[in-house]
Amino acid sequence: MRSDRVMVSVRTWLSKWFSQYGLFVVLMFLLLAIWETIVRMGWVPSFIIPAPTAIIGSLVEHRRLLLTIHLPATFMEVIVGFGLSIVTGIMLATGMHMNRSIEKAIYPFIVISQTIPLIALSPVFILWFGYTLWSKVAVVFLIAFFPIVVSTYDGLRQGDPEQRELLLTMGASKWDIFCKLQIPLALPSFFSGLKMSVVYCVVGATIGEWLGGSKGLGYFSRRMSSNMNTNAMFAAIVLLSLLGIVLFVLIAWLEKRFNTRRHGGKGKTG
């Protein structure tokens, strides 16, 4: 009886999953089949774009280096930079929201920081931090904190004036309004910023490793490119893409869980 319920749950989950992602999966396999055919027929040289099966074979061949050395290095850079981006982004957004003078003083610098090419700054970070983790973390942080700051700040400004006035008439303080009204209204924008930021983190880590590093998927990709090993280079690119997808899905899952718990809690209290 229990096994029957499990089977029904699995079938229900598969049905929902396929109804949502089925077209994407079919299209992806179709594109991969076309890609494989084009390369196998010799219409595109394999040293320019390798076949998907060749990329998979290279992943298997270099699995020890990729999965035990380079992937963990890139993952560490992404996580540290992302964590610093979250803390700094929330602090800056909150400060700008609470104090107009802070916004006028800091917001232009936040915008200017995104106009400087990362390729020009990476050698500076290497000069400051050397070929260490922190030179890559600096690149990740610089590219990743901007979406969190802007999205969180914009979300905090979306407070409903009527609800604010109602809370004020009920004797609520500014801190009460901030915690009970503005933060909940800002959460959708905050999570949107997180999802953008975590993908940018992977890009930033790759750029940092390309310009100066001794390990990481970006470094491995650059080394394989200089050796004309296209299969291994694309294998690293696939892992970078998968890393970004996994982190994005994780943030989306956390957002869904948080919203479900918050709405469920309201339902119970109501």
pLDDT of 1: 57
Of 92-101, 167-176, 233-242, which range is least confident? 167-176
| Residue with the larger pLDDT of the pair 258 and 203 | 203
pLDDT of 115: 86
SS3 114: coil
Give the model confidence (pLDDT) of 38-84 as tens digits.
Answer: 998 888 888 888 999 999 999 999 999 999 999 999 999 999 999 99
Gap between the Cα atoms of 247 and 204, Å rounded: 14
Gap between the Cα atoms of 1 and 83, Å rounded: 46
Which backbone phi and psi does 160 adopt, to 5 degrees? -75, 120
pLDDT of 179: 73
pLDDT band at 161 (very low <50, low <70, confident <90, very high): low
pLDDT of 270: 37
SS3 216: coil
Gap between the Cα atoms of 146 and 43, Å rounded: 42
Mean pLDDT to the nearest integer, 155-179: 70
Of 70-84, 107-121, 194-208, 243-257, which range is least confident? 107-121
pLDDT of 121: 80
pLDDT band at 131 (very low <50, low <70, confident <90, very high): confident
Instruction: Record the pTM.
Output: 0.84
How many Cα atoms within 13 Å fall on the side-chain side of residue 65?
A: 19
Taking CA 202 as the corner, what is the angle to CA 47 and CA 200, rounded to the nearest 5 degrees?
120
| Residue with the larger pLDDT of the pair 268 and 202 | 202
